[in-house]
Chain A
């Protein structure tokens, strides 16, 4: 059974880079049509896609964050990562990683499973 686990600093200073890792267990990160995504949730608010890396290696980023976001995959470590530069208080959120599954029979796609989430606070 595929499981995902986020890791990284829980506190980031304003203007610094927020960096998180997602370790995948129970399967290979390079298996088949698996893509990988990051989603965040500010305290008490709704869900926001940060971006996704498709199995092709292409990426899609939320336009509101484009220019600050980089998602990359480390196949040997079975891990993917998120870097968000120039962090501000508005980036304070619970960050989730998730598999972005794209159906083989068509472009229907969804996020499943999700990691448990990690709270990142941006504050001096």
Chain B
């Protein structure tokens, strides 16, 4: 199975900060990497698919990059509504998720 490891597991930041979350795969997954945002008590919401394609309706302050085994999700200027948990998910072989990164104020 392909293991997905996110870092950090939690992150404290302020409104207006630039934040980067890293996701590493245990083997190459090309660009088969998706990012989701989950707020407390809510279902996950797709942010980015295929490593860097922004889902329709997602603000442009979110961006994704990477290929192979290392990927990043960047939020260019944090807004109050961005404080949530973020998950990466590989879709190359089976569909495993990272453990999540909790972004806190």
Instruction: Give the B-binding residues of A (Cβ under 8 A).
Output: 37, 46-49, 52, 60, 62-63, 96, 103, 107-117
A46 touches B99 (CB 8 A): yes
Q: List 14 A-B contacts (CB under 8 A).
A: A46-B97, A46-B98, A47-B44, A49-B95, A49-B96, A49-B97, A60-B94, A62-B94, A96-B44, A103-B50, A110-B46, A110-B91, A112-B46, A114-B44
**A49–B91 Cα gap in the complex (Å)?**
11
Number of A-B residue pairs with CB-CB distance less than 8 Å in the complex they form: 58
**A114–B77 Cα gap in the complex (Å)?**
27
Q: Helix, strand, loop or mixed for chain B's interface?
A: loop
With an 8 Å Cβ cutoff, the count of chain B residues facing the other chain is 23
A108 touches B94 (CB 8 A): no
B45 within 8 A of A: yes
**A112–B48 Cα gap in the complex (Å)?**
11
Residue of B nearest to A106 (CB): B50
Question: Which residues of chain B in 56-105 are interfacial with respect to chain A, using CB atoms and an 8 Å cutoff?
Answer: 87, 89, 91, 94-100
Known: A63-B1, A112-B46. A46 touches B100 (CB 8 A): yes
A116 touches B43 (CB 8 A): yes
A114 touches B43 (CB 8 A): yes
